[in-house]
Every structure is written in structure tokens, then in C-alpha cells.
Chains A and B, each alone.
Chain A
Amino acid sequence: MFGFLFRKQKAVEELLAEYLHSVEIAQQDFARAMETYLETGGCCPDFEFLTAETHKAESRSDDIQEKMIRFLFEKALIPELRGDILILMEAVDEVPDQFDRVLYGILTQKIVLQDVVKPDLRELVAVSMETCSFMLEDIRALFERSEQAGRILTRVDQLESHGDHIERRLITRIFESDWDPLQKILLRDLTLALGDIADLALSVCRQVNLITVKRRV
């Protein structure tokens, strides 16, 4: 009876699921690319392929986001949910963008890894990937109105602090070494860029928490 009210809403719902899936694919490709990079210590065809794959997934999520924004501006959903989704997507979009930036940074600057930093970098990547997985779980929980929504924030916050700790340790180690100064700066930038992933995931979770609190009547 009320079908005429919800044509656009159904489309937004499907696009959101598609968007989150696309971000997840970008995350998986990024993790595999970083794994390859950490194993080889430099760029290789596999790494280049996975970088291109991550970029494709990131572009796909951008396209879906644009479609969703168009639907939302055509006034699908009630204004509050519309606003929440727009703000949330803007925050989430920073994460695949950061994957792209990190991988292209490695590829274009030909950053070569020293064995001594690999364990810390691997740990930092693992922490960042865990925060991203929690971020996606948190968003899904928000839309499912699950009790989990908002509770994940504490865990992500802890992970992000742990990531900061690894980041500081790694930068100290880099600058204590006698490597070429340019190499040091490039590795520092890479470390900071990897650390930013957890920061971005945390800010998304904070946004989710805010929406959860706001929607409790």
C-alpha cells in the first residue's frame, strides 16, 4: 500500500550493502598487497597487480558512493537518516582512499624495506586491518540496530592506541639507524600513513557511536 513511498529507499539500502562490500574488498586487496610487500621488501609484479586491484575497489566504492549521494539528494529516507548516512560515508570513504595513497606511495617512491623494520610494520598493518574490520562490523551493526553498535568503539580505541605505540617505536627505530636520510623520511612517512588507517577507522566508529546515541529515543 505504501510502496510508492519507498522506491528510492530500497535502492539506497542495496547500494549501502554494495558499498560496504566494496570497501571490504579494497581492505582485503590492501592487506594482500602489504603482505607481498613485506615479504619481498620492495615492489614486484604481484604487488603492482594488488595495488591496481585495491585502486579498482576504491574507485568502485567511490562510484557507489556517488550513486548513493544522488539518491539521498533526491530525498530518499527521512532527513535525519539521510544526513547520518552522508556524514558516515564521507568518513568511511577516507579509509579506502588511504589504502590507495599508501600503496601508490610505495609504488611511486620505490620504498625499499630493511629487515629490521618488517616485524613492526607487519604488526602495524595487522592492527590497522583489525580496526578496519571492526569499523565495517560497527557500521553493519548500526544499520541492523544491533546492541553491538557503539560498543565496538572501545575495542577500536584500544587498537588505535596500540597502533600509535607501534608507530612511535618504529619511527624511533628508523631514526636510530644509520640509513640514508631520504630513506628514513620515506619510511617515516609510510609508517605515519599506515598509522592513519587506524585513526580514520576510529573516527568512523566515533561517528557510528554518535549516531547510535542520537537515534536512541
Chain B
Amino acid sequence: MFSLLSGVLLGWSLGANDAANLFGSAVCSGMIRFWRAALLASCFVVLGAVLEGRTGIQTLESLTPLDLRLAVLSSLSAAVTVTFMTLLRLPVSTSQAVVGSIVGAGLLQNDLYLGGLSKVVLCWFGTPLGGILFAVALYPFLALLYNRCPYNLFRMDKVVRIALVVAGCCCSFALGANNVANVTAVFVGAGQLDVYSATLVGGASIAFGILTFSRGVMKTVGRDLVVLDPFCALIVILAESLTVQVYALVGVPVSTSQAVIGSVLGIGILKGVQTIQRRTLLSILLGWFVTPMAGFLLFFAFSFLSHLRYVP
């Protein structure tokens, strides 16, 4: 059980960081209290992980065979990468850090399933694209419904608020389904956990992160989303939710932050305004290389350290 700690740490930091993409706008604008949002998000994350997390776990597990030592090392190096990059305020995707360290383990053993890896990398590039496409598709359709709705302004306000909470729950479900693989897939590969226990432990550790440490991040990141009008914020969360859910079905863990950025970009394309700074886009591109590389290098560093023996 002790060996699972690095996975739990990874799940905890994932939950703490990604909760902002689920309920940030709703909490920041005071539509829902933090604790209600955190509880809803936690429940739906666990539900998503248990019901639909299996496919992602199978994808990551198939990348390379792992024993317990390699599983712990890859999980630890991903956790350290995520923590370190967060401290440096660099955009970080847990999925990319995890895959980077698994690739390190695969190369160390000279046994890496390239077909699976290319599918994963392709999906990373497809994440912001998915966000853009869903936002562009959803906006005109929902705008038509919104404009034709016969309710008064207060009732419309209610509708948008309920929709934001429901979308947050859907997004939490998608996060659990998609990202649980990042947390515990390596332990399934190592035979430490069966798939069901892995989804349960992974989901619970993400939920633990949401409940214990997401308030600050939610308020910081959510404030940026609140700048959008409530209707656009709803589109962004729905598009993010659909993107992440699609990749959960495909079985590749992706970054919710990148899905959000794609969705905001989609809104900007539709409205003909610049919603995302070029710097943010460049930092995503940079993150695609830096994060997996950091996970990869850290895995080697930890692997080297684990072989050192004290000789008196």
C-alpha cells in the first residue's frame, strides 16, 4: 500500500489543479459556494473514474510493462514534475508528465509500444483542437436557444446558473473518467492493483485534492474565466467537458486546461476577437515538449538514484 503513495500524491495535485477548470467560474462569481462545488466535483470525479476510467488505464498500461519499482518511480517523477512546474508557474499537463516518465521506463527496458504512444501524442495535439471545434459547434446552437427562450432576465439567469453547475458536474465526470489513468495506470501495469481498485483509488485521490487544496487555484484560475460572459463561460465548460469525455472514450488521458484554452480560442474565433494571448498559446506548445521531457529526465534521475547503494 505504501508504494501507492506517489500515485495518491499525483492524484491529489491533479485534483487541486484541475478543479478550477470544472467549477472555477461558478465559484468565483458566487453562483455556488466552494464546498458545494467541491463536493459535487468530488462525487462526479469518483463516479467518472469508476464507470469510465478503464479505457485510459488500459492505454497507459499497454505502453510498456512495469514492475512495482518502475511504477513507483514513474509515478513519483510525474508527481515531482507537476509540482515543480506548478511552482515555476509553467503550464503543466499531468497526462504529459505521466506519459513522459512511462516513456522513460519503456526506453530503460527497451520495450515501448510506439503505436500506443503515437495515439497518445496525437490526442494531445487534438485536445485544444477538440475544444475549438466543440465551442464553435455549440455556440450558435445554444445561442439560438438562449435568444428564443421566452423566460425573463431573472429566469434566464437561473437557467444559466443551473446549466453552469450541471456542466461543471459533467466536466468532473469527464475529468475522473479521463485522468484517473494518470494516477493509477502504472500500478495496474505493475500488478499492484486491479482495474476497478485503480479507478477507485485514483478517483478518490483526485477528489481528495479537490476537497483539500483546490480553493486557491479555483479562485485564481476561475477569475480569468469569469472575464467571459456567463453564456460564453458555459460554452467553454461544455466544450471542455465534451472534449475530455471524447478522449476518455478513446482511452487517452488529456489536459483539461488545454481543452479550456481551445474552447476559449473557439469563442474568440466565432466572435472575431482575441480571447487568448499568443504567449499562452506558445506556452502550451512549449509545454508539449517540456513537460514530457521533464517527466522523462526525472524518471532517469530517480532510476539512477534508486540504484545507488551505501557502501561504508
Contacts and interface: CB of A to CB of B under 8 A. Distances in A.
Nearest to B151: A145
Contacts of B152: 143-145
B34 to A, nearest CB: 12
Main secondary structure of the interface of B (DSSP, over half): helix
Given A143-B153, A145-B151, A78 B32 contact: no
A81 B151 CA distance: 15
Given A75-B30, A78-B29, A217-B143, A9 B162 contact: no
B156 A80 contact: no
A81 B158 CA distance: 11
Contacts of B165: 2, 5
Interface residues of A, number: 21
B160 to A, nearest CB: 6
A208 to B, nearest CB: 11
Nearest to B28: A79
B194 interface: no
B125 interface: no
Contacts of A46: none
A102 B153 CA distance: 34
A9 B230 contact: no
Interface in A63-91: 75, 77-81
Interface in A175-216: 214-216
B111 interface: no
B266 to A, nearest CB: 14
A142 interface: yes
A49 interface: no
A216 B147 contact: yes
A215 B232 CA distance: 11
Contacts, number: 58
A13 interface: yes
A5 B153 contact: no
B154 A9 contact: yes
B147 A78 contact: no
A4 B39 CA distance: 15
A75 B32 CA distance: 10
B162 A2 contact: yes
A216 B143 CA distance: 9
A215 B165 CA distance: 20
B30 A217 contact: no
A79 B226 contact: yes
A217 B29 contact: no
Given A5-B161, A75-B30, A80-B230, A142 B153 contact: yes
Given A2-B165, A5-B32, A78 B160 contact: yes
A5 B162 contact: yes
Contact of A80 (B151, B154, B162, B229): B229
Name, among B146, B150, B161, the residue most crowded by chain A CB atoms within 10 Å (CB to CB). Answer: B161
A143 B152 CA distance: 6
Contacts of B229: 80, 214, 217
Contacts of A4: 36
A145 B160 contact: no
A217 B146 CA distance: 8
Contacts of A80: 229-230
Interface in B101-158: 143, 146-147, 150-154, 156-158
Contact of A5 (B31, B150, B151, B154): B31
A13 B154 contact: yes
B252 to A, nearest CB: 33
A6 B29 contact: no
Name, among B30, B151, B156, the residue most crowded by chain A CB atoms within 10 Å (CB to CB). Answer: B30
B288 interface: no
A216 to B, nearest CB: 7
A87 to B, nearest CB: 14
A181 to B, nearest CB: 51
B153 A79 contact: no
B231 interface: yes
A81 B226 contact: no
Contact of A145 (B29, B30, B153, B230): B153
Contact of A78 (B31, B36, B143, B150): B31
Name, among A75, A143, A215, the residue most crowded by chain B CB atoms within 10 Å (CB to CB). Answer: A215
A207 B146 CA distance: 22
16 contacts: A2-B158, A2-B165, A6-B158, A6-B161, A75-B30, A78-B157, A78-B160, A80-B229, A80-B230, A81-B153, A145-B150, A145-B151, A145-B152, A216-B147, A217-B229, A217-B232
Interface of A: 2, 4-6, 9, 12-13, 75, 77-81, 142-145, 214-217
By Cβ-Cβ distance, the 3 closest A-B pairs, closest first, are: A75-B30, A217-B143, A79-B29
